[in-house]
Amino acid sequence: MHYIINAQPMDVIADPRTSLLDMLRDNLGLMGTKKGCNQGACGACTVLVDGERINACLALAVQYEGREITTVEGLSGGSDALHPLQSAFIEHDGFQCGYCTPGQLCSAIGMLGKIERGVPSAVTADLSAETMALDHDELRERMSGNLCRCGAYNGIAEAITKVHAKVPA
Amino acid sequence: MTSIQDAAQSLLKTAIGLVPARWLPGGSPDPLMQKHGLIGAPVSRLDGALKVRGKARFAAEVPMQGLTYAALLHSTVARGRIVALDISAAEAAPGVVFVMTYRNAPRMASPALMNTKPKAAGTSNLPVMQDAEIHWNGEPVAVLLADTQEQADHAVTLIRVTYETAPAITDFDAAKGSTRVPANILGEPPSIERGNAEATLVQAAFQVDCTYATPAHNHNAIELHAATLAWEGDKLILHDATQMVNNVAWTLSQIFGIKEEQVHVRSPYVGGGFGGKSLWNHQILAAAASRVSGRPVRIMLPREGVFRSVGGRTMTEQRVALGARSDGKLTALIHTGTAAMTPHNECPEQFSFPARHLYAAENIMIAQRVADMNIVANTFMRAPGESIGTFALECAMDELAEAMQIDPIELRRRNEPAKDPTSGNEFSSRHLTEAYGRGAEQFGWEKRSATPGARRDGEWLIGMGMATATYPYYRMPGGAARIRLTADGRATVSTAAHEMGMGTATVQTQHIAERLGLAMDQVVFEHGDTALPPGSMAGGSSQTASIAAAIIAAHDAFKAALLKLVGNDSPLAGLKPDAVEARDGGLCSSEEPDKHETYVSILRRAGREELVAEASAPPPLEAQEFSMHSYGAQFCEVRVSEITGEVRVSRFLGSFDCGRILNAKTAASQFRGGIIMGLGLALMEETHRDPRTGRIMNPSLAEYHVPVHMDVPKIDVIWTDIPDPHSPLGAHGIGEIGITGVGAAVANAVYNATGKRIRKLPISLDKLL
């Protein structure tokens, strides 16, 4: 099967039962994407597929053949510098143990893309609004699929807010 | 013998002058506790870049050649025996390497129970897969190895087991009818009586007498329990997710009948522990299967497997009765109750500990009992005892304040003790009233209406509540540290400590740099490996003080060794170790700081490439001499929907008194993390067991609810930052105090909003309708 993973073309031979998560971890050794529940409840395995966030544990690898997949290892675009959100997570202490962090990062980047595209959430009051504001509740609602048991939610929200504010509209 | 008893024995040794007692009365406090430089600075985590890149290697991520993947099969009955076992289909399935059951498992000794031996890590002392007996619903009955995880997960479903069941105690309500008194509770007596609390209670001007119930909880660290391991001859190499590397190594060596040095445990990064990452069946079974099959093994329990085979916090029923005079002084304080346990572990959930130390009651009665059940062994979970004990005690204090028409903080102030109410010891450092005052002011406590249901915003009833937080100071015996200084003036400090996200490595790097007079980038802190000098477990909020004490001991040895090298030409010539201190990459005279020489210069002149000094921490005698605790005041504002009963926490503030804070950034996160787990305890967390079968009914993160982003408001945390003169660095551990008091603060706020007292956790919406 052929994929573009973190901008690199890759060919993988895997059991058809293999999830995208297990393919990344076990077949490709990309251990940055984490397994926390293997049933779509914790978000630790969140990756970006063509820019959209998905739970890699609920996806069969075969479903995503030919697609562009970005994992935490690819967020900085291959450079040594960190993605601004990665730096903001460090600055605002948006993690403790670091296990849910790759999922939080990928999820936040996917989420900011949705905000930019004006995709509403369950708490959006005005569904016809042209532009979407990332207020306190929008952010927390949209990030609630990513659990952090250490409880770094305040730092995560601050980091995302800071980076969102810096992105030119 | 418990660690606490070990410490008591050590006291004897000190009395005969064998060990120093730096933090005892008359000892000189650590000079660093007053110094404002790196200590206390809000330094970002040093492992931050690694973790945000996804490059920190956790236990299930270590590569190994020829790896097999493990899957466990769990018993579906609570008690009985296996009468038939068919593994033929599983063995024939593609990719299967080995199937192990009690029939072909190697003979293994039972794990030594934690706290019964200095390095014991066992969470139960049941034999592991040694016979046909079943002890709980979920006990592993087979372990299967295959070439891929998919093959293992499928093949394990092909094993057929037939059980003969035996009567089992699986319902806490029934188990409570037959209780026993545990021998001790973490080395403390299970019951205490000061005066006659029952008789005083009935005569008191004001009385409350209530029963509180708390359910079972699971830690649910997001990293699943996992290990990657292999045998090299008779040596076991284990990459584990654990908060006690040395204890796991020693206990496994006893189980397999080998020497401690033959078990090498590494655990540099742990994806959350909270008390749950000790030694459970999965590491033992994976090591056994690896030994018999000759293949390396990776085991990563599925989330359901964690619920089935790793225990959590147990359920309790607690009675708190308070009697007070009309001036608000407590005349009677009674805290009794029962915790569920098993016949095979020793974890009675010390819910009565807060009541032993918090309030100056004239008559006190404490009594804890346990009810044995046939369930997975319960274990320590973030502030075991204190988290749920403060729920009962601090709700009762609120109920008494209500009955007396007195402000809840004022009631607590009037019962602030001068000495520890049960031990009679002096407090080493207690500034709780200051924490109340600062917290109340910043939170805006004066805006709280004393009348429930008085504030409203549409359908939302708004209330405020507060509660006291408290957790003991512990420092574990047995830790050591090594300082290695190299000719370039850099230092590596090593101890087998644990970094599960507390910020241990960052904080100790700050500490070492300050202690040695170096910049942080000249210092490396090595941890998480039994090849290093032994560390104590990361538990009981003890690690920071334990490591600090070991580093201080090593630093004393380091200074002595360095001064032996200086010779007669150094400005430091003739100075004794206690007359020098570290400054600017070297040592100087404490009296005349201009007398200074750098480490580089000292080593160069002596012709040395390096200097190594190692020492063990002195035993934790300070906790014998003083009543040593951390304190805090938790303030909560809730909004409760009158229509649906939904509770939303809209504001929260924690005001803490935990000695010197060593890193303002990571400490704030520790406090917040505890508070957030406390919000889970208050509002949603509950492990449901079918009372008929003892089977856990919600073994997943979809059905065991933990707080998510949307449940958590901005949480303010403040602290007194007053050093404890009797602890290393003046610091206390802060991993657990954050969760204490939160359940009560929320429940008291819910009462203030609605007028409804919820005495059974969690405060789910059905209880408010």
> What digits encode the pLDDT tens for the residues B322-359?
999 999 999 999 999 999 999 999 999 999 999 999 99
At A14 the pLDDT is 87
Q: Which residues neighbour B569 within 8 Å (Cβ) at sequence distance 6 or greater?
A: B605
* Cβ-defined contact of A41 to B702 (cutoff 8 Å): yes
In the CATH scheme, what architecture does the domain B477-619 have? 2-Layer Sandwich (3.30)
Q: Which of residues 16-45 of B touch A (CB under 8 A)?
A: 44-45
Place of tokens 């013998």: B1
Average pLDDT for residues B373-401, to the nearest whole number? 98
At B21 the pLDDT is 60
pLDDT tens track for B392-417: 999 999 999 999 999 999 999 999 99
Average pLDDT for residues B717-729, to the nearest whole number? 96
At B26 the pLDDT is 63
Q: Which residue of A has its CA nearest to B95?
A: A15
For β-strands B480-486 and B316-324, DSSP reports them as: unpaired
The Cα A77–Cα A83 span in angstroms is 8
At B644 the pLDDT is 97
The Cα A85–Cα A166 span in angstroms is 11
Cis peptide before B619 (omega within 30 of 0): no
Are the C-beta atoms of B351 and B389 separated by less than 8 Å?
yes
B195 φ/ψ sector (left φ>0, alpha ψ -120 to 50, else beta): left
Place of tokens 């699943």: B224
The Cα B398–Cα B468 span in angstroms is 11
Q: Please give the structure tokens belonging to residue B731.
A: 């610091």
Q: What is the mean pLDDT of chain B?
A: 95
pTM of the model: 0.97
Q: A141 and chain B: CB distance < 8 Å anywhere?
A: yes
DSSP assignment of B325-362 = -TTS-EEEEEEEEEEEE-TT------TTHHHHHS---S
CB-defined contacts A:B, below 8 A? 183
The Cα B766–Cα B664 span in angstroms is 40
Question: Could you tell me the CA-to-CA distances from B245 to B77, B296, B613 in Å, in that order?
Answer: 32, 19, 22
Residue B378 has pLDDT above 70, yes or no: yes
Question: Could you tell me the CA-to-CA distances from B594 to B457, B560, B597 in Å, in that order?
Answer: 66, 20, 9
Q: Which residues neighbour B181 within 8 Å (Cβ) at sequence distance 6 or greater?
A: B190, B191, B367, B368, B369, B370
At B115 the pLDDT is 87
The Cα B443–Cα B757 span in angstroms is 23
Question: Could you tell me the CA-to-CA distances from B638 to B13, B462, B501, B649, B753 in Å, in that order?
Answer: 52, 6, 29, 4, 7
Nearest by CB to A37, which of B52, B149, B303?
B303
Are the C-beta atoms of B434 and B729 separated by less than 8 Å?
no
Are the C-beta atoms of B22 and B618 separated by less than 8 Å?
yes
In 10 A of CB B756, how many CB atoms? 17
* Cβ-defined contact of A147 to B701 (cutoff 8 Å): yes
In 10 A of CB B91, how many CB atoms? 15
The Cα B507–Cα B735 span in angstroms is 13
Q: Please give the structure tokens belonging to residue B140.
A: 């592993």
Amino acid at B707: P
Average pLDDT for residues B114-129, to the nearest whole number? 95
In 10 A of CB B362, how many CB atoms? 17
Which positions in chain B touch A87 (Cβ < 8 Å)? 52
If DSSP codes are grouped into helix, strand and coil, which group holds residue B310? Answer: coil
Among A38-47, A159-168, B131-140, B659-668, the least confident range: A159-168
* SS3 of chain A: helix, strand, coil, percent, to 5: 40, 10, 50
Smallest CA-to-CA distance from B223 within A55, A98, A36 is with A36
At B36 the pLDDT is 82
The Cα B369–Cα A125 span in angstroms is 53
> Which class in CATH covers the domain with range A2-74?
alpha beta
If DSSP codes are grouped into helix, strand and coil, which group holds residue B569? Answer: coil
Amino acid at B392: A
For β-strands B68-74 and B140-146, DSSP reports them as: antiparallel
Place of tokens 């739970």: A55
Q: Please give the structure tokens belonging to residue B449.
A: 């209406």
Q: Please give the structure tokens belonging to residue B630.
A: 């951390």
User: Is residue A150 classed exposed, middle or buried when 0-12, 13-18 and 19+ CB atoms within 10 A define those classes?
Assistant: buried
Backbone phi, psi, residue B598, to 5° = -75, 160
The Cα B677–Cα A151 span in angstroms is 7
Mutate to test the interface with B, among A39, A99, A135, A144 (most CBs of B within 10 A): A99
Q: Do domains B60-167+222-309 and B385-474+621-769 have the same CATH topology?
A: no
Residue B13 has pLDDT above 70, yes or no: no
Count of residues making up chain A: 169
Q: Do domains A2-74 and A84-166 have the same CATH topology?
A: no
Q: What string of H, E and C letters represents the secondary structure of B29-96?
A: CCHHHHCCCCCECCCCCCCHHHHHCCCCCCHHHCCCCCCEEEEEEECCCCCEEEEEEECHHHHHCCCE
Q: Would you kindly state where each structural domain of chain A is located, as residue ranges?
A: 2-74, 84-166
How many helical (H) and strand (E) elements, i.e. helices and strands, does chain B have? 19, 28
In sequence order, the β-bridge partners of residue A129 are none
Q: A84 and chain B: CB distance < 8 Å anywhere?
A: no
Smallest CA-to-CA distance from B379 within B238, B244, B212 is with B244
In whole angstroms, what separates CA B629 from the centre of its chain? 15
Give me the CATH code for the A84-166 domain, please.
1.10.150.120
In 10 A of CB A13, how many CB atoms? 8
The Cα B184–Cα B369 span in angstroms is 10
At B25 the pLDDT is 65
Q: Give the Cα-Cα-Cα angle B743, B744, B748 (nearest 5 degrees).
A: 125
Q: Which residues neighbour B646 within 8 Å (Cβ) at sequence distance 6 or greater?
A: B640, B765
Give me the CATH code for the B385-474+621-769 domain, please.
3.30.365.10
> Which class in CATH covers the domain with range B60-167+222-309?
alpha beta
What angle separates helix B543-565 from helix B504-516, to the nearest 10 degrees?
30
Q: A150 and chain B: CB distance < 8 Å anywhere?
A: yes
Q: Please give the structure tokens belonging to residue B458.
A: 């549409």
Q: A72 and chain B: CB distance < 8 Å anywhere?
A: yes
* Cβ-defined contact of B271 to A31 (cutoff 8 Å): no
Q: What is the mean pLDDT of chain A?
A: 95
Q: Which residues neighbour B231 within 8 Å (Cβ) at sequence distance 6 or greater?
A: B237, B287, B290, B291, B294
The Cα B543–Cα B170 span in angstroms is 36
pLDDT tens track for B409-462: 999 999 999 999 999 999 999 999 999 999 999 999 999 999 999 999 999 999
If DSSP codes are grouped into helix, strand and coil, which group holds residue B267? Answer: coil
* Cβ-defined contact of A152 to B669 (cutoff 8 Å): yes
At B5 the pLDDT is 46
Counting residues of chain B whose pLDDT is more than 90, the rounded percentage is 94
The Cα A40–Cα B515 span in angstroms is 46
* Cβ-defined contact of A15 to B52 (cutoff 8 Å): no
Which positions in chain B touch A97 (Cβ < 8 Å)? 221-223, 269-272, 500-501
B736 in catalytic set: yes
At B9 the pLDDT is 44
Average pLDDT for residues B495-521, to the nearest whole number? 97
The Cα B310–Cα B312 span in angstroms is 7
The Cα B429–Cα B622 span in angstroms is 12
At B545 the pLDDT is 96
What angle separates helix A136-143 from helix A101-116, to the nearest 10 degrees?
130
The Cα B678–Cα B471 span in angstroms is 14
Q: Please give the structure tokens belonging to residue B151.
A: 């093959």
At B19 the pLDDT is 44
Place of tokens 């551990």: B733
Q: Please give the structure tokens belonging to residue A152.
A: 């770094």
pLDDT tens track for B575-604: 999 999 999 999 999 999 999 999 999 999
Scanning B607-697, the segments in alpha helix (DSSP H) are: 622-625, 664-683
Average pLDDT for residues B199-226, to the nearest whole number? 98
Amino acid at B155: A
Q: Which residue of B has its CA nearest to A98?
A: B51
Q: Would you kindly state where each structural domain of chain B is located, as residue ranges?
A: 60-167+222-309, 385-474+621-769, 477-619
Please tell me whether the interface predicted TM-score (ipTM) of this complex is above 0.85. yes
Residue B17 — pLDDT band, cuts 50, 70, 90?
Answer: very low
Q: Which of residues 273-312 of B touch A (CB under 8 A)?
A: 274, 300, 302-303
Residue B566 has pLDDT above 50, yes or no: yes
Which positions in chain A touch B675 (Cβ < 8 Å)? 151
Give the gap in angstroms from C-alpha A97 to the nearest C-alpha of chain B.
4
